[in-house]
Each structure stands twice: as structure tokens, then as C-alpha cells.
């Protein structure tokens, strides 16, 4: 069964450094998402991406964050200058059609980001 893959599984970085989290969504999916889950807290929506542009973003997704689909397979989340409070598990997801109103999300196993 096709799956969403994320790399790396764990990233440790120093405060102020830039990080790029990588994802390969399921190949025939058209909608891509980033969510995060701070340890012990709820899953939070960051951003959705469709047709090579951001379709929706949350208040969390400020100017420090950016997303990109650099080629036909990868989908990346960049945090420009990491803060301690960015420490979380970051999940990439994709869906086939129609956004959340229609189809379920397929998640990767996440990247655990630790900012020291």
C-alpha cells in the first residue's frame, strides 16, 4: 500500500538555526498538509498546499515557516529560525481529492524536531 514518507525521523537543532523537514506524499495525491503535535498536546494544523500554492494556513504558520514542492515528488517544510517552542512532532499528510470535506488524510510517521 502506498505511504507518505518523512525524513529525517529525528532532527536536533540549535535555537536560531534553519531546518528543512522533508516529505514524499503518495504519488497520485493532489493535496498536501503539515501538522504538528507538541508532546502531550493536540495535533495542530499548520498549512495545506494545492496546485503549487498554499490553500490555507493557521495562525501558527507565521513568516518563520514556508513550504515548497521543489519537484514532482517532494514536499518540504522550512523553519527559518527555530525557537524552543518549535520542538514538536511534525507530520506530513496527503489526500487524494477535495480537501478535508471529502477525503481522509494519509500521514507519514513524522519528524521529531528538538530545538535546544
Partner 1 sequence: SQQGEEDPQALSIQEGENATMNCSYKTSINNLQWYRQNSGRGLVHLILIRSNEREKHSGRLRVTLDTSKKSSSLLITASRAADTASYFCATAHMDSNYQLIWGAGTKLIIKP
Interacting residues with partner 1 (CB under 8 A): 4, 31, 33, 35, 41-45, 48, 50, 55-56, 58, 91, 93, 99-101, 103-110
Q: Which is nearer to partner 1, 6 or 82 (CB)?
A: 6
| Distance of alpha carbon 13 from the chain centroid | 17
Note whether 23 and 74 are within 8 A (CB).
yes
Q: Which CB sits closer to partner 1, 44 or 66?
A: 44
Q: CB of residue 16 vs partner 1: minimum separation in angstroms?
A: 27
The Cα-based distances of 71 to 22, 23, 25, 45, 52 in angstroms read 12, 12, 12, 23, 10
Quote the least distance from Cβ 15 to partner 1, whole Å: 24
* Beta-strand relationship, 10-13 and 65-68: unpaired
Extract the C-alpha cell encoding 78.
522550512
Q: In the complex with partner 1, which residue's Cβ is closer, 20 or 102?
A: 102
| Closer to partner 1 by Cβ: residue 56 or 65 | 56
CA 6 to chain centre: 9
Rounded to the nearest whole angstrom, what is the least distance from the CB of residue 65 to partner 1 in the complex? 15
Amino acid at each position: 500500500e502506498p505511504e507518505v514518507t518523512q525524513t529525517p525521523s529525528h532532527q536536533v537543532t540549535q535555537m536560531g538555526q534553519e531546518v528543512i523537514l522533508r516529505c514524499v506524499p503518495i504519488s497520485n495525491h493532489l493535496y498536501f498538509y503539515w501538522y504538528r503535535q507538541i508532546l502531550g498536546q493536540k495535533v495542530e494544523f499548520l498549512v495545506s498546499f494545492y496546485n503549487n500554492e498554499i490553500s490555507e494556513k493557521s495562525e501558527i504558520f507565521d513568516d518563520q515557516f514556508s513550504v515548497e514542492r521543489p519537484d514532482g515528488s517532494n514536499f518540504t517544510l522550512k523553519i527559518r529560525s527555530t525557537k524552543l517552542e518549535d520542538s514538536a512532532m511534525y507530520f506530513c499528510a496527503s489526500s487524494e481529492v477535495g480537501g478535508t470535506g471529502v477525503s481522509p488524510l494519509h500521514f507519514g510517521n513524522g519528524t521529531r524536531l528538538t530545538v535546544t
